[in-house]
Chains A and B, each alone.
Chain A
Amino acid sequence: MSDAPNDIVIELKDVHKAFGAQKVLRGVHLQVREGTTLVIVGASGQGKSVILKHMLGLVKPEQGEVLVFGRDLTRIRAREVKEIRTHFGVLFQNAALFDSMTVFDNVALPLRERTKVGEERIRASVMEKLDLMDLLGAEDKYPAQISGGMRKRVGLARALMLNPRVVFFDEPTTGLDVHKSNEIYRLFHRTQQQLKYTAVIVSHDVPKIFKLADTVALLAEGVIQGCMSPEEFQLAENPLIREFVETTMGPIYSSDKEESILYETL
C-alpha cells in the first residue's frame, strides 16, 4: 500500500451522470487501491449502484473519466473493455442470475465459456464454491425456485468463480440472516487474504461492514462526502457523515427514552 500512483486500480475523476432531468452523480471523485476494500455507503436511491455500473463500463458518464487499470473505460475499444472485464467478479444488486439455467450451470458458466477446463474439473470446482456458500443440494434448482438470500449467494459463488483481481459486490448481504451474513464476511476476509483481490462493496450493513473496509466512502447529494478509513469516518467532522454515522450506529439506540420520543414524533 504505497503511494505510487500505479497501484490505483480504479479511479473516478469528476464523474457526472444524469438520467433525464434527474442529476444522480455531480462530480464523483474516487480512488481504489490495489488489494484494498472500498465500501460505499449512502441512503437508498443516491446512486451507489450507478457508481458501480460506471466502474463496470455499463454506463457512460456525461462528463469525467473512469479509469480502470489506468485505462479510461469511456475512450477505449469494446475489445479492451472486455479484456479488462476478464479480471472482474461482479455481484449485481438483483443477482442477475440466468433464470433459465440451473444454479449449477449459472456458477459453471464462466468456466465453460472462458476456460477450456474439462467437465469433471468444472463439476469439482463448482461444487466446492457451492459448498462454500452453503448451497449444496440446491444445484439442480432454477433461480425462481430458491430464496432471495440463496440467489445472492449463488451470485457470489459465480462472481468468485474465476479468481478475479477486482470484485464488485452490490449489497452482498442484504436479505441474509445475521448468521449467514457473518459467514459471508468471514469468507470475504479469508478469500481476500488468499487471493489479494481488490474489492468495491456497496452495503447498507453498517457498522458491521466497516470491519471489512480499508476505506469507507459516503455518497450523498451526488458527490462522495469523504473517503477515509472506518475509524476516521466515524469521527469525521463533515455534517453529512456525522448525520449518517449517528443515524446508522449512533445514539438512537442508546436509551429507551429517546427511542420512544422518536416514535412519538413520527
Chain B
Amino acid sequence: MVQFLEKLGDQCLHLLEQLGRMGIFLFACLWCVVKPPYKIFPIIRQIHFIGSRSIFVIFFTGAFTGMVLGLQGYYTLRKFGSEGLLGSAVALSLIRELGPVVAALMVIGRAGSAICAEIGIMRNSEQIDALECMAIDPYKYLMAPKFVAGVLSMPLLTALFDVVGILGGWLIGVVLLGINEGTYFQAMYASVEWQDIKMGLVKSLVFGLLLIWIAAAKGYFLHFERGGGFGAEGVSRTTTDAVVLSSVAVLLWDYLISAIML
C-alpha cells in the first residue's frame, strides 16, 4: 500500500515537473517569436515543410471526409425527408468540427512526428548543446520559426480541408445521389454563420500551436524522459509519445473550445 502511494506520488511529481517544464518552454518560445531580430527565410522553410508539403494529404483526407459525410448524411436525412439540408449538415460539421480536428491529426502525423524526431536527435547528439555553446539561442533558432509556421499553416490547411470536403459532399450528394445543386448550396448559405467560421478558425490556431508545442517540447526534453531517451529507440519512443499526446490534446481542446464557444 505504502509502496503504491509512493509510486503514485512519484508519478504525480513527474507529471507536474513535466507540465511545468513544458509551460516554461512554451513561454520561452513565444517570447522568442516576438523578440527581434526577425528572420523570414527560416519561417518560409518551415511553412514549406509543415504547410505546403501537407497539402496533398489534406486534400485527400478532406475529399474523402466530405464524401463520407455526404453519403452518411444523405441516408440519415432522407429518413426525415430532409435531404435538402445535406449542404448545411456537411458544411457545418466540416467547418466547426471535422475540418480543424482531422487536419490537425494529419499534420501531427506528418509534421509533428518529424519535428519531435528532428529535435530529439539534435538533443541526443549534443547538437543543441553545441548551439548553446555557440551562443545561438535554440529557442530562437530552432523553435520560433516552427511555431510561427505552425500557427500560420494550420488555419490555411483547415480552410483547404473544409473547401475540398464541401466539394466532396457536393460530388456525392448532387452528382451521385441527385440532390438539387441549388438546394445543396442554398442550405449552406443559409446556415453557416460567421460564428461557425470563427470557431473553426480559433480551433485551427489553437491546434497549430498545440501540436508544434508538444512535438518540439517532447524532443527538446528528450533527456528528461522516464527510462531515458537514449539512442534511436529513445527517439522513436518519444516521438510515438508525442504523437499520442498531441492527438489526445487536440481532441480534448476541441471539446473545450466547442463547450466555451457554443
Contacts and interface: CB of A to CB of B under 8 A. Distances in A.
Interface of A: 53, 56, 58, 82-83, 85-86, 88, 90, 92, 94, 96-100, 109-110, 113-114, 158
Interface of B: 118, 121-122, 125-127, 129-130, 132-137, 141
A82 B130 CA distance: 12
A58 B131 CA distance: 11
A82 B137 contact: yes
Given A82-B137, A113-B141, A98 B132 contact: no
Nearest to B121: A99
Contacts of B125: 94, 96, 99
A92 B132 contact: no
B130 A88 contact: no
Contacts, number: 51
B40 to A, nearest CB: 14
A159 to B, nearest CB: 9
The 3 closest A-B pairs by CB, nearest first: A96-B130, A85-B135, A96-B126
A246 B125 CA distance: 35
A109 B42 CA distance: 13
Contacts of A88: 133-135
Contacts of A158: 134
Given A82-B135, A113-B141, 16 more contacts: A56-B129, A58-B129, A82-B132, A83-B135, A85-B135, A90-B134, A94-B126, A96-B126, A96-B130, A97-B130, A98-B127, A99-B121, A109-B136, A110-B134, A114-B135, A158-B134
18 contacts: A56-B129, A58-B132, A82-B135, A85-B132, A85-B134, A88-B134, A88-B135, A90-B133, A92-B129, A94-B126, A96-B126, A96-B127, A97-B127, A98-B127, A109-B134, A110-B134, A113-B134, A113-B141
Prevailing SS type, chain B contact patch: helix
Contacts of A99: 121, 125, 127
From A97, A109, A113, residue with most partner B Cβ within 10 Å: A113
Contacts of A114: 134-136
B133 A56 contact: yes
Nearest to A82: B135
Contacts of A92: 126, 129-130
Contacts of B137: 82
Nearest to A94: B126
Nearest to B28: A78
B226 to A, nearest CB: 15
A58 B135 CA distance: 12
Contacts of A113: 134, 136, 141
Contacts of A90: 130, 133-134
Interface centre among B118, B127, B134, B141 (most CB of A within 10 A): B134
A158 B133 CA distance: 12
Contacts of A85: 132-135
A79 to B, nearest CB: 10
Contacts of B132: 58, 82, 85
A83 B136 CA distance: 10
Most chain-B CB neighbours within 10 Å: which of A83, A90, A158?
Answer: A90
A99 to B, nearest CB: 7
Contacts of B122: 98
